[in-house]
Amino acid sequence: MRFIHSVLFLGFISMHLFAENGHQLWLRSGSGKSINVVCNKKSSTLNIAEEELKSGWKGQAGKNIYLIIKRDDLIKGDGFILSDNKIQANTDLGILYGVYELLRRQNVGDDIKFDVCNPAYEYRVLNHWDNLDGTIERGYAGNSIFWRDGEDAFVVKEEDKVLWQEYARANASIGINGTVLNNVNASPEMLTHNVLNRVKAIADILRPYGIKTYLSIKFSSPSMIGGLETSDPFDSKVNEWWNEKAKEIYQLIPDFGGFLVKANSEGQPGPQDYGRTHADGANMLADAVKPYGGVIMWRAFVYQTSEEDRAKQAYNEFMPLDGQFRDNVIIQVKNGPIDFQPREPFSPLFGAMKSSSIMPEIQITQEYLGQGIHLVFLAPMWEEFLKSDTYRKGKGSTIANCTDGSLITQKYTAIAGVSNIGLDANWCGHLFAQANWYAFGRLAWNNSLTSEQIANEWLIQTFKNTDQKSAIFNPDWELNFLKPIKQMMLDSREAAVNYMMPLGLHHIFAAEEHYGPGPWWAPKGIRKDWTPPYYHQADSVGIGFNRTATGSNGVCQYSENVSLLFSNTITCPEMYLLWFHHLSWTYKMKSGRTLWDELCYRYDSGVKQVRHFQTVWDKVQPYVDFQRFFHVQRKLREQSRNAQLWKDACLLYFQQYSHLPIPYDIERPVHELDVIIKEDLERH
Ligand code: BDP
């Protein structure tokens, strides 16, 4: 009876907390106290800085705050020096970033003391995979905020501008300073007049917030829309076409960032179609944007043949070209050698290319991590990646150090994140997916932040009630909300790895939608390296992809220390074991269990973790408004059902090869393998 009573009581409280749809993101801190802002310059960016301070100030009422543009050698790029009553920067944008940092510290309760804050990467760029018809490739939060189909496709409406401004503000508040407005699988139409005019309209709104616009281009644009017979980078007319196109764009958008290019990858055209190299193609474009200060972000996501281990191909293609790229080309490399899997070791290109600027590309949208349904906080994955040691210059040559200019000088330092933003009221589909957008920006600014710090900041800004009147509903908020929910976020990525593909398994999804389990999925006629059996290699002996010297020898692409580490089953971290080794079902794991048993326990623990997240979330109901509470509750229920399906599907499927029992202290599968497969085939 008491229990029912308290459930009703908790329900009652949360119904009365103000409903929120999540649109305000982490910027919902409410009104501030009075403040006196003194600034030695005027500009639209500085106006924003001043307004933000005036509306969000949480410090002492009536205080004087000085915004000072004055060069200081301690400040790099758009960095700033923060102190109790002063923000100093070399640029207007530095001041704006300083203001956001000051307000964040006030909201989060961090110290505001003398601090020099410089960005880790100079270019901190979102990649939108948005199509001109408004759909988004791998988007799980509604249609594009930039593009739409129909008669009004190119009309710039008031509501568009409002949204773009909110978007710009959110990005600036976490230090993002660039955005690629369209899909890497680019339409040639992107470079036509109407579209470029709309790009200009977007750029005009983003500019005061310090966000530059970039476009993905189709390499064959000269022949597709320019009326030329070829798009060969060695053809002078083709060069001329790109030069003219660059001129046209820069006339509209003087601070245009440059082009992002996916070439000779997954069927996209590229220089190799004309017998030229990636460097030839990239250099032609680099020359076109060079006079205006533009850059080319050239993607290394290539795997042309299905004969060679896919994990080796980017390295094989790009290493011989090292040193041949113009200095305004940046090679954009996905974190792992395959494709944004729940867990991958780092791509061997990091720390290997010696004479090219290299930038990491990470995926914010959760294509392979439960999409808009699963609660998966990605900062731990990115932290793991950034801290991976390449041994490029001995121990401690982390990816972070190798890419941010601190260990190796690069002409440009940059990082890209594939966006998870769409027209959904809460921007990201899942409320907690906002934390991934937030984490990307924060890590791009400071790549040594911990996941714990980021989760802490995000949770306080997103959920804490700053409204005095609701303070009554916040007793022990830190203990009862912040602590358990932060822990849930920090555990969520490992949970997903556990119930999807533990111990180094990868790419065992059903079909191309990359959502549910499909270790069996291998339709006739499809490229082998698009099918899960290619990756898990399960047979009567064991499971895993042998990338050691006795297999594809993918390990040899890493530096010697790393290669030795991964090659040896004893030293290879268990999280990568089946990525590098094909091992027998009875192989002894560090836990003392057999590989088969360990696999079963991992899948089972993943399911248990999600079930636990449900309880954790239900318990915080008194601290969350009903709209956001029920939104997350429903998503977690679906995630639980999915996790169970992953476990059952994978264990029952692999059991056909291992012929071993699922340990008896593990809960039995509740689905039938034949039914799962049948339903899967019907769907795809
Ligand atoms: C894969 C996606 C595909 C993208 C491709 C890419 O499945 O939709 O076009 O990456 O990054 O992850 O180019």
35-39 and 63-69 strand pairing: parallel
CB contact at 8 A, 303 and 318: no
Residue 262 alpha carbon to ligand 1 centre in Å: 10
* Encoded amino acid at 639, one letter: Q
pLDDT on residue 19: 81
Looking at the CA of residue 184, tell me the nearest atom of ligand 1.
13
CB contact at 8 A, 611 and 492: no
Looking at the CA of residue 185, tell me the nearest atom of ligand 1.
9
Other C-beta atoms lying within 10 Å of the C-beta of residue 41: 12
CB contact at 8 A, 464 and 477: yes
Beta bridge partners of 333: 360
Residue 261 alpha carbon to ligand 1 centre in Å: 13
Beta bridge partners of 414: 123
Q: Which of 264, 339, 362 to mutate to test the pocket of ligand 1 (most atoms within 8 A of CB)?
A: 339
Sign of the dihedral defined by the CA atoms of residues 418, 424, 430, 434, in that order: positive
Q: How far apart are CA 418 and CA 365, in angstroms?
A: 6
Q: How far apart are CA 507 and CA 518, in angstroms?
A: 9
Residue 420 alpha carbon to ligand 1 centre in Å: 14
CB contact at 8 A, 160 and 166: no
**The CATH classification of domain 31-117, taken from the options 3.40.50.10420, 3.30.379.10, 3.40.50.920, 3.40.50.150:** 3.30.379.10
Q: Which of the two residues, 634 and 7, has the higher pLDDT score?
A: 634
Looking at the CA of residue 340, tell me the nearest atom of ligand 1.
12
- 581's tokens: 């080794």
Q: How far apart are CA 269 and CA 615, in angstroms?
A: 50
Sequence ranges of the domains in the chain: 31-117, 123-449, 497-545+582-683
pLDDT, mean of residues 193-217: 98
For ligand 1, atom 2: residue with the closest CA: 138
Fold of 497-545+582-683: Alpha-d-glucuronidase, C-terminal Domain (3.90.1330)
- pLDDT at 16 exceeding the cut of 50: no
Q: How far apart are CA 674 and CA 515, in angstroms?
A: 19
Looking at the CA of residue 137, tell me the nearest atom of ligand 1.
8
Residue 609 alpha carbon to ligand 1 centre in Å: 29
Q: Which CATH superfamily is domain 123-449 in?
A: Glycosidases (3.20.20.80)
pLDDT on residue 9: 44
pLDDT, mean of residues 237-251: 98
Q: How far apart are CA 551 and CA 330, in angstroms?
A: 32
pLDDT on residue 469: 46
pLDDT, mean of residues 302-316: 94
pLDDT on residue 599: 98
pLDDT, mean of residues 553-582: 98
pLDDT on residue 306: 85
CA contacts within 13 A on the Cβ side of 492? 31
pLDDT in tens, 417-456: 999 999 999 999 999 999 999 999 999 999 999 999 999 9
- pLDDT at 482 exceeding the cut of 70: yes
Q: How far apart are CA 337 and CA 675, in angstroms?
A: 34
DSSP-assigned letter for residue 303: -
- Burial-class residue 483 by CB neighbours within 10 Å (0-12, 13-18, 19+): middle
Residue 546 CA to its chain's centroid (Å): 28
Residue 100 alpha carbon to ligand 1 centre in Å: 33
pLDDT on residue 466: 63
pLDDT on residue 473: 54
Band (5; pLDDT cuts 50, 70, 90):
very low
Percent of all residues in the chain with a pLDDT value above 90, rounded to a whole number = 93
Percent of all residues in the chain with a pLDDT value above 70, rounded to a whole number = 96
- pLDDT at 102 exceeding the cut of 60: yes
pLDDT on residue 467: 57
pLDDT, mean of residues 119-125: 98
pLDDT on residue 18: 67
Please list every protein residue whose CB sits less than 6 Å from any atom of ligand 1.
137-138, 184-185, 262, 266, 301, 339-340, 367
Q: Which of the two residues, 16 and 524, has the higher pLDDT score?
A: 524
CB contact at 8 A, 298 and 330: yes
Looking at the CA of residue 268, tell me the nearest atom of ligand 1.
13
Strands (E), 423-565: 542-543
Q: Which of 130, 367, 512, 527 to mutate to test the pocket of ligand 1 (most atoms within 8 A of CB)?
A: 367
Q: Which of 136, 184, 347 to mutate to test the pocket of ligand 1 (most atoms within 8 A of CB)?
A: 184
For ligand 1, atom 1: residue with the closest CA: 339
Residues forming the active site: 266, 339, 367
Q: What is the mean pLDDT of the chain?
A: 95
Residue 459 alpha carbon to ligand 1 centre in Å: 30
- pLDDT at 235 exceeding the cut of 70: yes
DSSP-assigned letter for residue 19: P
- Burial-class residue 675 by CB neighbours within 10 Å (0-12, 13-18, 19+): exposed
pLDDT in tens, 369-406: 999 999 999 999 999 999 999 999 999 999 999 999 99
Q: How far apart are CA 359 and CA 372, in angstroms?
A: 27
Give the torsion through C-alpha atoms of 283, 289, 295, 299, to 10 deg: -50
pLDDT on residue 14: 45
Q: Which of 12-21, 61-70, 118-127, 672-681 has the lowest mean pLDDT?
A: 12-21
pLDDT on residue 305: 87
For ligand 1, atom 9: residue with the closest CA: 185
542-543 and 583-584 strand pairing: antiparallel
Other C-beta atoms lying within 10 Å of the C-beta of residue 561: 14
Q: Which of 56-60, 502-506, 601-605 has the lowest mean pLDDT?
A: 56-60
Please state the φ and ψ torsions of residue 421, each to the nearest 5 degrees. Answer: -100, 135
